[in-house]
Structure 1
Amino acid sequence: MASSDGNDYFKRTSLFWVVTVTVAVGYFSFTVFAPEKIPFDHLGPFGSFCRYLVDNHADLMYKGWWAAFAVHVFEGIYALKVCRNKGISSPTTRFLWFFQTFLFGFASLGLLIKYDPKRLKKH
């Protein structure tokens, strides 16, 4: 079995976070950009709350969406810095970390931050 020096370490985030973040960001995006497509009446108190936000705070939600987008971009860029600091030098692997972190935020970045290349080399 070939051993790796850690320059290509990548771990996919859990399915739970993939589904949770995808649904949450998708719902938020639809609420901001296409609220007429959301059946607020069928979502109970949560739908009423979202309808209130759309009707009374659409501008704030729009700015919040772009803020969340900017945070995800920043997290992706920070993931590249963490890769460099941890010795992950493979361009493909660094791209995977950037892309996964951009899509799923801290659910991905947390995995990268937890990675300890020194511990891996002891085995």
Structure 2
Amino acid sequence: MAKSDGCDYFKRTSMFWIVSVTFGVGYFTCIVFAPEVIPFQHLGPFGTFCRYLVDNYAGIMYKGWWAAFAIHVFEAFMALKVCSNKGVTNASTRCLWFVQTFLFGFASLGLLLKYDPERPKQH
């Protein structure tokens, strides 16, 4: 197996984070932009709490959604900076890190931050 110089290092985030973040962000998006599609009455105390938030704090939740979006954009650009710092120079690999970090936030950025190109992993 050929050794890589790290310019194309990429690691996919775990399926747990992919499912959790996708569900969480999707649910939050529905609560903010289309609360009528969520069957709050079938979600027990969690549904009651979410209905309360929709009815009483819709403006704050809307701003919170945009704040979360902005944080994910910021994290994605930070991933590009970290790629540069760690010697990940391959354009398609940097794009993968950007997109994955935009979609899954710190679950992705954390993997990149843990990457240590100076020390090869021992198995």
TM-score bin (small chain) = over 0.9
Following superposition, which runs of at least 4 residues in structure 1 exceed 3 angstroms of deviation?
Answer: none
Structure 1, gaps ≥5 residues long: none
Fraction of identical pairs, as percent? 74
Please give the alpha-carbon distance, in whole angstroms, between the structure 2 residues aligned to 1:32 and 1:120. Answer: 45
Q: RMSD across aligned C-alpha pairs, in angstroms?
A: 1.2
| Counterpart for residue 36 of structure 1 | 36
Q: Is the 8 A contact 1:8 1:93 kept in 2?
A: yes
Q: Could you say what secondary structure the match of 1:117 adopts?
A: coil
Q: Which residue of 1 aligns with 2:83?
A: 83
Letter in 2 for 1:16: F
**CA distance, structure 2, for counterparts of residue 121 and residue 57 of structure 1:** 48
Q: Which residue of 1 aligns with 2:14?
A: 14
Per-residue Cα deviation, 1:27-81 (whole angstroms, up to 9, x for no partner): 0000000000000000000000000000000000000000000000000000000
Question: Does the 8 A contact of 1:7 with 1:89 survive in 2?
Answer: yes
Instruction: Give the AA of the match of 1:112.
Output: L
| Aligned position for 1:48 | 48
CA distance in 2, matches of 1:79, 1:45: 38
Aligned to 1:98: 98
Q: Which residue of 2 aligns with 1:71?
A: 71
